[in-house]
Structure 1
Amino acid sequence: METPLKRINKYLSEAGYCSRREADRLIEEGAVTINGKIPEMGTKVAPSDEVRVKGKLVTEPKSDFVYLAFHKPRGIVCTTDTRREKDNIINYINYPERIFPIGRLDKYSEGLIFLTNDGDIVNKILRARNNHEKEYIVRLNKPIKGDFIQKMAKGVPILDTVTKKCHVEQLGKETFKIILTQGLNRQIRRMCEYFDYKVASLKRIRIMNVTLDIEKGKWRYLSESELKEINQLVSNSSKTYDN
């Protein structure tokens, strides 16, 4: 029976090295080699091939995955680039195995974020069309007035598109709750800026079925029940790439 080959980005994600998206970036930069040669995007890997990233050998894909929930403090950057960014999430957590964040929270936001070494679940969760909810508490720089809440919920023109309809609820004079199923770049901040508001603080308090129950700067493993439900939620999710 012929041994199935895997695309290089899938191989790197299943090896727990990075997400497929990050793998594509590394391939484009020429940082990946297969048997000493720089591959093209989409090149497939056999079990006998030697794969290296920046000269470092990547071992066979692992089956033991870890899944962390982390309360990211303000000022920490969600990047695996530990050389260029000193305040990065990887060094901050200092987990003994290589892990990477699922999605992002910008530097000036805080709250819940997942980290893992399971590249496939990263791709499933990040697919916006799979409608995975993320809930935030937002405080503005001035009191909420008029129909701001209703307009935010209906959709806002930013980044050459209109945001999806979403649930928005006012909590206080300057604060509101918003539940998104999208992950556009700095989406909430851009939505507020469109209506001449600035975000004073932003905190993510839920991702899908997992709520923020950790002290700032601390992490915990996702429970078996949480993982089971997450896997059910993403079971019909489209993968970003084929095999």
Structure 2
Amino acid sequence: MERLQKVIAQAGVASRRKAEELITQGRVSVNGEVVTELGTKVTPRKDKVEVDGVPIDREEPVYFMLYKPTGVISSVKDDKGRKVVTDFIDSEQRLFPVGRLDYDTSGLLLLTNDGEFANQLMHPKYKVGKMYIAKVKGIPTRESLRQLERGIMLEDGKTAPARVKFVSGNKSQGTSIIEITIHEGKNRQVRRMFEAIGHPVLKLKREMYGFLNLKGLNSGEARELRPHEVKQLREIVEKNKCN
């Protein structure tokens, strides 16, 4: 038997945290009876689980990597009719993005129907690194970059230490290229971190997620992750879970 929220998450309906909210809100039923207790356990292949009256289907888990273009919403739908990340992937499964990239940020984004796995990848305690290349205004001093390495106090809390590398500076244009790796996912975090040290981001691209990179993909293209890549991501999560 498995916890109800885990079964919902593995069906790709929502992350485990969101599944817990659905349960406490009385939107989940098991064998026709509404369940609101988070400790409830079910047998996935025998018990009939419904969310908002709709039976959940245990789909085969799939994992995709997308080179997200700028001007695209990291969501499965948009009430303003703008392009969303799932528009770029042809899949019968109900995919959702693992975290998000801002509308005006491009780069590597993972999508899956495995809510439990997505929740682990997004949680900062598992320390899955995300590397960005930022073009910023001005040329930061070494001390400014050290502030990013130590952690920056933002309105929603202090960021964890980041890995930062100065790539190049253009004095005539007054811009710099900085490589930064974080393992959190606060809203517009990288942009806010650079704003905090007085060097606003002009252009931002996520180059890597863990060990994955964009090699072989053009903007707007996607591919399914290979089994050994999924296995390696799981190993990173398990390793950091024990630390």
TM-score normalised by L of structure 2:
0.83
1:218 aligns with 2:213: no
Please say if residues 153 and 159 of structure 2, whose CA atoms lie closer than 8 Å, have aligned partners that are also in contact.
yes
| Structure 1 gaps, min length 5 | none
Q: Percent identity?
A: 31
Report SS of the residue matched to 1:236: helix
Say which is worse superposed, 8-17 or 19-28, in terms of deviation: 19-28
1:56 aligns with 2:54: yes
**AA matched with 2:185:** G
Shift of residue 27 of structure 1? 3.8
**AA matched with 1:184:** K
Q: Distance in 1 between matches of 2:103 and 2:24?
A: 26
Query: What pairs up with 1:82-97 in 2 under 5 angstroms?
Result: 82=77, 84=79, 86=81, 87-97=83-93
1:32 aligns with 2:34: no
CA shift digits 1:153-180 (9 cap, x unpaired): 2211113432222211112222200011
Shift of residue 201 of structure 1? 1.3
Q: Distance in 2 between matches of 1:83 and 1:53?
A: 22
**AA matched with 1:162:** K
Shift of residue 234 of structure 1? 1.7
1:18 aligns with 2:10: no
Please say if residues 78 and 84 of structure 2, whose CA atoms lie closer than 8 Å, have aligned partners that are also in contact.
no
**AA matched with 2:138:** P
Q: Distance in 1 between matches of 2:93 and 2:191?
A: 33
1:154 aligns with 2:156: no
Shift of residue 85 of structure 1? 5.7
1:184 aligned partner:
186
TM-score normalised by L of structure 1:
0.83
- Name the CA shift for 1:201/1:32 in 2 (closer, same or farther; >3 Å): farther
Please say if residues 124 and 237 of structure 1, whose CA atoms lie closer than 8 Å, have aligned partners that are also in contact.
no
Please say if residues 210 and 233 of structure 2, whose CA atoms lie closer than 8 Å, have aligned partners that are also in contact.
yes
1:167 aligns with 2:167: no
Q: Distance in 1 between matches of 2:37 and 2:68?
A: 33
In structure 2, which of residues 68, 73, 97 is the aligned counterpart of residue 101 of structure 1? 97
1:144 aligned partner:
139
Q: Distance in 2 between matches of 1:32 and 1:77?
A: 28
CA shift digits 1:170-219 (9 cap, x unpaired): 12222200011222222111111212332111110001111112111110
In structure 2, which of residues 118, 121, 125 is the aligned counterpart of residue 125 of structure 1? 121
CA shift digits 1:90-112 (9 cap, x unpaired): 24434221122112112221110
Report SS of the residue matched to 2:94: coil
- Name the CA shift for 1:79/1:39 in 2 (closer, same or farther; >3 Å): farther
In structure 2, which of residues 225, 230, 236 is the aligned counterpart of residue 227 of structure 1? 230
Q: How many residues align?
A: 231
Shift of residue 37 of structure 1? 4.3
- Name the CA shift for 1:202/1:30 in 2 (closer, same or farther; >3 Å): farther
Shift of residue 231 of structure 1? 2.3
Aligned alpha-carbon RMSD (Å):
2.4
